[in-house]
Amino acid sequence: MTEEHPFAPYVRILARGKTKTRSLTAEEAEGAMTMILAGEVRPEQLGAFLMLLRLKEETADEIAGFVKAVRATFKVPSSAPQVDLDWSSYAGKRRQLPWFLLSALLLAQNGTKVFMHGTEGHTPGRVYLRDTLKALGLPVAGSFDEAAAQLEGEGFAYLPLECLNQPLRDIIDLRPILGLRSPVHTVARLLNPFGATNVLQGIFHRGFMETHQVAAKILGFNAVAVFRGEGGEIERRPNKETEVCTLHEGELGQDWWPQILDQSFQAADEDMDVDRLARVWRGDEENEYGVAAVIGTLAIALRLMDASLAQDEATEQAQTLWQERDPTKFN
């Protein structure tokens, strides 16, 4: 008789039928992900495991356990500075440019250390952050050490997922093979590799906001803001009211931010020319929607980092930072 594979119990927990199937505990999820990252799982087991999780939808405990397993693989240099804001980018943009990048750069220009991480290519026809940074002449880190140095020097760094954990990137790349996203997309957004004090998260499906929020609490994060941003990224939609789920020192909360622009619909950007970001930053081109997205997103980030700020105060600060930006950055 063939001996049972050590990973089989994790699959069995998720697939025992309507009456016996249950979710994984945080500890079980951590054990399962540890085996996956170590390459100790057969491909057919991995596919079954991911799709069973997708079918039932992952719980906050499962996500927290997965994140703990991934974080245990990180080799963050001891000399790394304290990061103020963790900003993930895993969705890519299809209808609008990644205006949120300008919000992050504004924060960095004004003394906030912003660490961004993400991936690309899993969904065709989208504009991803790595390519945008390169097009604008901004560096992309290739290791934890490079990211730490950029954070120390410039207050901003972007590190691709494969430099954080290659096996996790490989799982995300399974999306076109499996036909669906897997829980890894949620896990990646919660990694917070440098242990930033504040964490921003963008989601596409509104139903996952509470899962992100509660998982962040389980993981012991200090301050978190989760919202359904444009295209699933961390970007406020100026023509929509925005619900933001928050976590501050262990307390779960909720903010509703008002619609910024009068029109309730924004047509898709037809050419998705990322150079437009630089032109708007320099003042060479006007873009009402883009500027509203930058300021609106920035206001949410400012209130996250200082909960004492009222929404109108955060918005005023964001407007001032935009007006006083260094226009020579992209010269």
Contact 283, 262 (CB under 8 A): no
d(CA 64, CA 49): 17
Closest CA to 73 of 185, 167, 182: 167
Could you report the per-residue pLDDT of 166-217, keeping only the tens digit for each? Answer: 999 999 999 889 888 888 989 999 999 999 999 999 998 778 899 999 999 9
How many Cα atoms occupy the beta-carbon half-sphere of 25 within 13 Å?
4
* Domains of the chain and any CATH numbers: 8-71 (1.20.970.10), 85-323 (3.40.1030.10)
Per-residue model confidence as pLDDT tens digits over 214-259: 999 999 999 999 999 999 999 999 999 999 999 999 999 999 999 9
**pLDDT tens digits, one per residue of 259-307:** 999 887 888 888 999 999 999 999 999 999 999 999 999 999 999 999 9
Whole-number CA gyration radius for the chain = 20
**Could you tell me the pLDDT band of residue 122, with boundaries at 50, 70 and 90?**
low
Q: Are 167 and 39 in contact (CB under 8 A)?
A: yes
Name the 3-class secondary structure at 234: coil
Least Cα distance to 201 among 161, 234, 236, 156 occurs for 234
**Other CB atoms within 10 A of residue 122 CB:** 18
State pLDDT tens for residues 36-71.
Answer: 999 999 999 999 999 999 999 999 999 999 999 999
Q: 283 and 327 in contact (C-beta within 8 Å)? A: yes
Tell which residue, 297, 149, 309, 328, has the closest CA to residue 233: 297
Q: Which two tokens stand for residue 28?
A: 């079980």
Q: What is the pTM of this model?
A: 0.95
Q: What residues form DSSP beta bridges with 246?
A: 225, 253
Residue 122 carries which DSSP code?
S
Please give the structure tokens belonging to residue 257.
Answer: 């931010």
pLDDT in tens, 126-156: 899 999 999 999 999 999 999 999 999 999 9
